[in-house]
Amino acid sequence: MSSATDTSTGAVNEGRAGARPDTRTTRPRVLSLVQPTADSLHLGNYLGALRQWVPMQDDHDAFYGVADLHALTVEQDPKQLRQRTLRSAAQLIAAGIDPEKSTIFCQSHVPEHTQLAWILSCLTGFGQANRMTQFKDKAARGLGDQASVGLFTYPVLMAADILIYRADRVPVGEDQRQHLELTRDLAARFNHRYGRTFVVPEPHIVASVGRIADLADPVGKMSKSASSPAGIIELLDEPKINIKKIKSAVTDSDREIRFDVDQKPGVANLLTILSALSGTPVETLVESFAGKGYGDLKGAVADAVAETGGAFRERALGLIEERTELEAILAAGAERAREIASAVVAEVYDKVGLLPPAQGRSR
Ligand code: AQP
114 and 69 in contact (C-beta within 8 Å)?
yes
Query: Residues 34-54: pLDDT tens digits?
Result: 999 999 999 999 999 999 999
Does residue 225's CB lie within 6 angstroms of at least one atom of ligand 1?
Answer: yes
Does residue 201's CB lie within 6 angstroms of at least one atom of ligand 1?
Answer: no
Nearest atom (ligand 1) to Cα of 221: 1
Please give the distance, rounded to the nearest whole angstrom, from the Cα atom of residue 178 to the centre of ligand 1: 13
Q: Quick one: pLDDT at residue 20?
A: 38
Would you place residue 3 in the very low, low, confident or very high pLDDT band (cuts 50, 70, 90)? very low
233 and 248 in contact (C-beta within 8 Å)?
no
* Residue bearing the bigger pLDDT, 361 or 233: 233
Choose the catalytic residue: 138, 245, 264, 298: 138
User: Does the pLDDT of residue 264 top 60, yes or no?
Assistant: yes
User: Does the pLDDT of residue 13 top 70, yes or no?
Assistant: no
Please give the distance, rounded to the nearest whole angstrom, from the Cα atom of residue 44 to the centre of ligand 1: 7
Q: Quick one: pLDDT at residue 22?
A: 52
Would you place residue 82 in the very low, low, confident or very high pLDDT band (cuts 50, 70, 90)? very high
Active site residue 221: yes
Active site residue 264: no
Q: Quick one: pLDDT at residue 225?
A: 81
Please give the distance, rounded to the nearest whole angstrom, from the Cα atom of residue 199 to the centre of ligand 1: 24
The residue-averaged pLDDT of 152-162 equals 97
DSSP string, 308-333: HHHHHHHHHHHHHT-HHHHHHHHHHH
What is the Cα–Cα distance from 119 to 164, expressed in whole angstroms?
Answer: 12
Q: Quick one: pLDDT at residue 269?
A: 97
The CA R_g of the chain, rounded to the nearest whole Å, is 22
User: Does the pLDDT of residue 197 top 70, yes or no?
Assistant: yes
User: Does the pLDDT of residue 363 top 50, yes or no?
Assistant: yes
User: Does the pLDDT of residue 19 top 90, yes or no?
Assistant: no
Choose the catalytic residue: 79, 224, 247, 298: 224
Active site residue 136: no
Q: State what percent of residues in the chain have pLDDT above 70.
A: 91
User: Does the pLDDT of residue 349 top 70, yes or no?
Assistant: yes
Please give the distance, rounded to the nearest whole angstrom, from the Cα atom of residue 308 to the centre of ligand 1: 19
Query: Residues 265-283: pLDDT tens digits?
Result: 999 999 999 999 999 999 9
Q: Quick one: pLDDT at residue 358?
A: 87
Residue having the nearest C-alpha atom to atom 7 of ligand 1: 45
Does residue 108's CB lie within 6 angstroms of at least one atom of ligand 1?
Answer: no
Grouping H, G, I as helix, E, B as strand and the rest as coil, residue 233 is: coil
Phi, psi for residue 120 in degrees, rounded to 5 = -70, -35
Query: What is the dihedral sign for C-alpha 106, 112, 116, 121?
Result: positive
What is the Cα–Cα distance from 107 to 320, expressed in whole angstroms?
Answer: 19
Strands (E), the chain: 29-34, 61-66, 102-106, 169-171, 202-204
Would you place residue 362 in the very low, low, confident or very high pLDDT band (cuts 50, 70, 90)? low
Q: Say which range, 22-26, 156-160, 266-270, has the weakest mean pLDDT.
A: 22-26
Q: Quick one: pLDDT at residue 144?
A: 66
User: Does the pLDDT of residue 2 top 50, yes or no?
Assistant: no
